[in-house]
């Protein structure tokens, strides 16, 4: 029973911190740009604010968990999500939006290490992978919830941000009551030795460029679809399909029974490029976009699963270290990708920018060697 409540609490916190406080920004973007005018370059910078905050938080969270236990960083995660979303709800200028996105973006970086630490303390080793996959599916659940709220809730995106902030505050009670506050018995491993390992270095490069490519969809996907003349209802449905398909990422573990990790990795990189290519060559809505965005959403989460497995293998004595570094590099790539795509979009147009970003995951299809 205790494990069940821990999983439900972790699932809810991940749904709020990733699905609502981080990725819902993409589907809000067209409406926000109508209410608070700003350029595509500024949109890229605003999107990068969330990714920068995530990078900083995920670096600080392991140390905070080691000093105070998982409960405190998870509680701060809930509060930062609520605070950032409320600031976005009342923002009247791009810089206030950026500040809100930054504060909300801290939430996801604090949540993942805290929940992982709680699971490692309270769940048997054999059950931890299963529990973590269920909890990580919260991201897709948050995206699925955000779409109908943004589409049907009176008051538009501002009222949606207010509701999301309220849901984040609701998470504080179970986080404080359910998550442990025990400190780990061993000190966190030093990064210096691990960073010298060629396997981890190669994976960090892959994660970085995969993050760059993924930023085109997660930061600009709805805006690009809107430019094709796709109505808001269809656009919201496509975004929800992409989020729902991300639940397939939880199947990364069972999928290894029929495919090697290298094959899973290559398939996910191809899927990451697919929606970008389809949007680049589309001039209006096509039903091909439905499976395209679904495979793109599934590909991103599955790629994250492959990186998670390889990161743990590359630092077998301290698996959390490898996983944290790869997810940090993935987010760092998204920072660069958001700003770079915004610049290319403004200077060259959407098609050229999309083709360049679609080429990145295709180039990295064969960038693995000894991993398996």
Are residues 117 and 6 both part of a single domain? yes
Q: Please, are residues 100 and 48 in contact by the beta-carbon 8 Å criterion?
A: no
Rounded CA separation 36/233 (Å):
21
Give the least confident one: 53-57, 301-305, 365-369: 365-369
Are residues 152 and 209 both part of a single domain? no
Q: What's the CATH number where 41 sits?
A: 1.20.1250.20
Are residues 274 and 322 both part of a single domain? yes
Q: Of 188, 222, 240, which residue constitutes the final position of a domain?
A: 188
The better pLDDT of the pair 345, 305 is held by: 345
User: Is the per-residue pLDDT at 136 higher than 60?
Assistant: yes
The better pLDDT of the pair 161, 19 is held by: 161
Structure tokens belonging to residue 76:
């701060």
Structure tokens belonging to residue 169:
């505050």
Q: What is the mean pLDDT of the chain?
A: 84
Would you state the pLDDT for residue 240? Answer: 83
Are residues 241 and 146 both part of a single domain? no
Helix, strand, coil share of the chain (percent; to 5): 85, 0, 15
Q: Which structural domain range is residue 138 located in?
A: 1-188
Are residues 148 and 170 both part of a single domain? yes
Is pTM beyond 0.75 here? yes
Are residues 181 and 199 both part of a single domain? no
Instruction: Tell me what the mean pLDDT of segment 5-16 comes to.
Output: 92
CB atoms within 10 A of CB 152: 10
Are residues 201 and 173 both part of a single domain? no
Q: Please, are residues 132 and 6 in contact by the beta-carbon 8 Å criterion?
A: no
Instruction: Tell me what the mean pLDDT of segment 12-20 comes to.
Output: 92
Are residues 148 and 215 both part of a single domain? no
Would you state the pLDDT for residue 372? Answer: 42
The better pLDDT of the pair 56, 233 is held by: 56
Would you state the pLDDT for residue 249? Answer: 61
Rounded CA separation 325/328 (Å):
5
Residues of the chain with pLDDT > 70: what percent? Answer: 91
Phi, psi of 184 (to 5 degrees): -65, 150
Q: Please, are residues 15 and 138 in contact by the beta-carbon 8 Å criterion?
A: yes
Rounded CA separation 160/258 (Å):
42
Would you state the pLDDT for residue 360? Answer: 92
Confidence of residue 317 (pLDDT cuts 50, 70, 90): low
Would you state the pLDDT for residue 65? Answer: 79
CA distances in angstroms from 304 to 5, 144, 168, 297, 336, listed in the order given: 25, 19, 24, 11, 18
Would you state the pLDDT for residue 303? Answer: 84
Would you state the pLDDT for residue 189? Answer: 56
Q: Of 188, 216, 248, which residue constitutes the final position of a domain?
A: 188
Q: Of 142, 167, 188, which residue constitutes the final position of a domain?
A: 188
Are residues 294 and 178 both part of a single domain? no
Are residues 226 and 84 both part of a single domain? no
Are residues 159 and 286 both part of a single domain? no
The better pLDDT of the pair 38, 1 is held by: 38
Instruction: Tell me what the mean pLDDT of segment 157-171 comes to.
Output: 95
Phi, psi of 145 (to 5 degrees): -65, -40
Are residues 168 and 233 both part of a single domain? no
Instruction: Tell me what the mean pLDDT of segment 227-239 comes to.
Output: 81
| Number of domains into which the chain is organized | 2
């Amino acid at each position: 029973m205790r494990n069940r409540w821990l999983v439900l609490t972790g699932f809810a916190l991940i749904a709020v911190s990733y699905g609502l406080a981080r990725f819902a920004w993409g589907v809000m973007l067209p409406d926000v740009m109508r209410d608070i005018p700003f350029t595509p370059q500024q949109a890229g910078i605003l999107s990068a604010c969330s990714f920068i905050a995530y990078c900083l938080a995920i670096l600080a969270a392991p140390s905070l968990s080691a000093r105070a236990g998982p409960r405190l960083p998870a509680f701060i995660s809930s509060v930062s999500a609520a605070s950032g979303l409320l600031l976005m709800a009342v923002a009247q200028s791009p810089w206030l939006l950026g500040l809100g996105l930054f504060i909300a973006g801290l939430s996801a970086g604090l949540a993942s290490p805290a929940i992982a630490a709680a699971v490692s303390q309270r769940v048997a080793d054999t059950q931890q992978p299963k529990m973590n996959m269920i909890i990580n599916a919260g991201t897709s659940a948050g995206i699925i919830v955000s779409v109908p709220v943004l589409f049907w809730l009176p008051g538009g995106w501002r009222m949606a941000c207010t509701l999301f902030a309220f849901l984040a505050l609701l998470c504080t009670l179970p986080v404080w009551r359910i998550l442990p506050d025990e400190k780990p018995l061993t000190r966190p491993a030093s990064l210096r030795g691990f960073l010298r390992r060629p396997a981890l270095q190669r994976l960090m490069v892959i994660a970085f460029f995969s993050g760059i490519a993924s930023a085109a969809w997660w930061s600009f996907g709805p805006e690009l679809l809107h430019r094709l003349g796709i109505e808001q209802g269809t656009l919201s449905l496509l975004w929800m399909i992409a989020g729902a398909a991300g639940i397939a990422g939880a199947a990364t573990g069972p999928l290894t029974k029929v495919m090697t990790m290298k094959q899973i990795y290559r398939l996910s990189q191809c899927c990451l490029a697919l929606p970008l290519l389809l949007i680049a060559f589309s001039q209006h809505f096509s039903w091909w976009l439905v499976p395209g965005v679904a495979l793109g959403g599934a590909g991103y989460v599955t790629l994250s699963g492959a990186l998670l497995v390889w990161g743990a293998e590359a630092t077998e004595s301290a698996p959390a270290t490898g996983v944290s570094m790869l997810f940090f590099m993935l987010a760092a790539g998204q920072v660069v990708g958001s700003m770079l795509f915004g610049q290319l979009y403004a200077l060259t147009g959407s098609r050229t920018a999309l083709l360049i970003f679609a080429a990145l995951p295709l180039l990295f299809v064969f960038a693995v060697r000894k991993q398996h």
